A and B are shown apart, each in its own frame.
Chain A
Amino acid sequence: MTEQSYAADRGFLSTGRPGILGWIFSTDHKRIGLLYLWCIVTFFCVGMLLGLLIRLELFSPGADIMTAQTYNAAFTLHGVIMIFLFIIPGIPAAFGNLIMPIQIGARDVAFPRLNLFSWWLYVTGAALALTSLFTGGGPPDTGWTFYVPFSAQTSTNVSLAAIAVFILGFSSILTGLNFVTTIHRLRTQGMTWMRIPLFTWSLYATAWIQILATPVLGITVALLFVERMLGTGLFDPNLGGDPIMFQHLFWIYSHPAVYIMVLPGMGVVSDIVPVFARKPAFGYKAIVVSSLAIAFAGSLVWAHHMYTSGMSDTAVLVFSFLTFIVAIPSAIKVFNWLATLYQGSILLDPPLLFSLSFILLFTIGGLTGLVLGAAATDIHVHDTHFVVGHFHFTMFGGTGMAFFAAMHYWLPKIYGRMYNKAVATVAWGIIFIGFCVTYISMKVVGMMGMPRRYFDYVPEFTGLNQLATIGSWILGIGLALMFYNVIRGCFKGTPVEANPWGGASLEWQIPSPPPTENFGEDDPVVTHGPYDFKAAGIL
């Protein structure tokens, strides 16, 4: 495609109301998806800078660049921003909105205005979260988990942050509700349940968790809010309450929430691996069932965060057992991806590189999760840097890598332009090395006994902490290079055709960038599965 013909038709990017108002009041799922994407990338960068500052502070024992109170605020904000503003909405709200309706042959989501409202709620919640930094008693210093009794007593601005989390949760619920309804009601002719692309399937499972788990977070932070405002004492032993109940309610949401975070990432990888192996997805049905199984089993394991909180031994045993069950469907997916790659005709393009690093890092993260899921070993490493290393392997090495894979896979479709693949590959390599240096060091120093969230440490831990900090610099450089390359590619890259990767699902059958109506006058009729490359004429 030449530069001229590209300029003539920029699909949904150019049609519709011009100017900023045409974006922030658009009900087009693709425009809303891009609004989410750029907000989410921005917040990721803010969270990343905070993470770099935390690592810098830990470069040597004692105070280096900030006070202990600032450090508490920094890791709280890093957590709140990364969890509630980046990783939970990350893949579903950005790429789910951009791609999911197209993958099932729909013109839009079931409730387009509600979709726009969700984005506004997200922006409102984000604005309130940022406001809490500069108002009241200063930035919250509780950690992202808001545990009572400290969160009920601290003079920092926890109340506003709790309202922000409530609103962000509401936004997440409405997105989930919209996606479930869309996938049930708006599949085009021939798009049977067993022809739905695995990315959309993963969003379906995720959306159910969003609907069923998030309200419990809502009531939990609401109770924290009234506790602080009115002194309702429901978690205060002096008034008959029990602080453990806060932890139960919090994790009834927040453990399923880690599957809100990782399931869409698994969906991205499940979509990318077959395309770059030029083979149908191995065990399509097993991947579908395992997504639903993770969503179900993941709702029953919340108390494995609380082994040291004073639960009964029976409860510890039961939750430990249930936790191990979740490993089964996760492992099924890993084996299916590997079997898909086996004897495939592999193209090592950037989307696949990020997906492969997902598979490796998520597997390591998952296996170290079993160390924490087993009660006996958990007592040893609970609340150490081992935990920090573990969840960064699953959340960043997992979902983060999948988010980057999705950016490299679908943004050429959305903008109709390709980034520089060589630079993307180099950036991937730097990110991968930086990641391993940072988080493996954390795991080791955690095994040695360094607690998490501590401002200071004993001199014995200095070497590994410095290694982790140096790793964070490498990681930062890699991420900066990657974002520069992708963003430059979106606006100045070489124009691409409709199907640059050779995908067989519906989004690759329409022009890049997609037209506003997605499929023009006639809705598509689907006659084959999403990974049937022969029937799609790719092979």
Chain B
Amino acid sequence: MSGHEHRDDVGARFGMWLFLFTEVLLFGGLFILYAVYLHRYPHEFVTAGGELNVWFGGGNTLVLLTSSLCVAIAVTALQRGNTTLCLRLLGVTIFCAALFMVNKGFEWSAKIGHGIYPGSAHLHDLPPGEAVFFNIYYVTTGLHGIHVIIGAAVLIWTMVLIKKGRVNAGRWVMLENAGLYWHLVDLIWIFIFPLYYLILH
């Protein structure tokens, strides 16, 4: 071992999985709040949830699932030495991430246009159960949006490293870890979508 660079792919992957645990627990705090407030205001949650646009949410779900598929194929492509295909697929992923954020932007601005945003006067006039639904919706999807941006940034950085040849068919753990992070972003959305958009539809 001495004289050589220390390399431990299993350890790197292990560390990434531990980090993903922490992300799940970070969102876990918000899911606890959701559970408690849903239990307290079941009817208000249904009323407020009905105002979210299920087409926006459903569309974004498809976009994220597609992006996750691309990352999964990209990892295999790199392992088989097909760098070009890998980079193209990652490009599609980044495009999906951008599309997701643009969609989210339209959705949020429509809601904000109706006076529904944290701290708004309209929210103070709504029944408390509906206000808390919209507030927790903004906080959860906002935090998720931040994670989409971070995940995309990590993937772009990985693409740079692939271009430079530092991540390649012989050492792809960096891409795999970036991909794992992206799958987490996807996974959290898979929970957010039904909890907020499909509530008792």
Contacts and interface: CB of A to CB of B under 8 A. Distances in A.
Question: Is the pairing of A and B real?
Answer: yes
A460 interface: no
A245 B23 contact: no
B99 interface: no
Interface string B34-73: 0011001100100000000000000000000000000000
Contacts of B23: 215
A240 B128 contact: yes
Name which of A240, A245, A248, A523 has the most chain B CB atoms within 10 A of its CB: A240
B128 A245 contact: no
B124 A239 contact: yes
Nearest to B129: A240
A379 interface: no
Interface residues of B, number: 43
B173 to A, nearest CB: 12
A185 B128 contact: no
Nearest to A220: B29
Contacts of A524: none
A239 B135 contact: yes
Nearest to A249: B29
B194 interface: no
A contact residues, range? 35 or more
Interface in B1-30: 1-2, 6, 8, 10-12, 14-15, 18-19, 21-23, 25-30
B149 interface: no
A129 to B, nearest CB: 21
Chain B contact residues, majority secondary structure: helix
Interface in A185-241: 185-186, 211-216, 218-220, 222-223, 226, 230-234, 237-241
A212 B132 contact: no
B123 interface: yes
Contacts of A173: 19, 22
Contacts of A527: none
A346 to B, nearest CB: 41
B184 interface: no
Contacts of B127: 240
Given A178-B15, A181-B11, A231-B118, A215 B128 contact: no
Given A230-B119, A231-B119, A181 B28 contact: no
Nearest to B8: A185
A120 interface: no
B33 interface: yes
Given A177-B18, A240-B41, A521-B2, A234 B132 contact: yes
Contact of B135 (A233, A242, A245, A521): A233
Contacts of A17: none
Nearest to A208: B18
A245 B15 CA distance: 31
A108 B12 CA distance: 14
A496 interface: no
B167 interface: no
Contacts of B27: 219
B136 interface: yes
A234 B136 contact: yes
Contacts of B75: none
Contacts of A211: 18, 21-22
A185 B139 contact: no
Contact of B18 (A108, A180, A222, A230): A180
A230 B8 contact: no
Interface in B157-187: none
A110 interface: yes
A212 B36 contact: no
Interface in A278-333: none
A249 B32 contact: yes
Given A111-B12, A240-B129, A242-B40, 5 more contacts: A215-B26, A216-B25, A219-B29, A234-B136, A240-B133
Interface of A: 107-108, 110-111, 114, 173, 177-178, 180-181, 184-186, 211-216, 218-220, 222-223, 226, 230-234, 237-242, 245, 248-249, 252, 517, 521-523
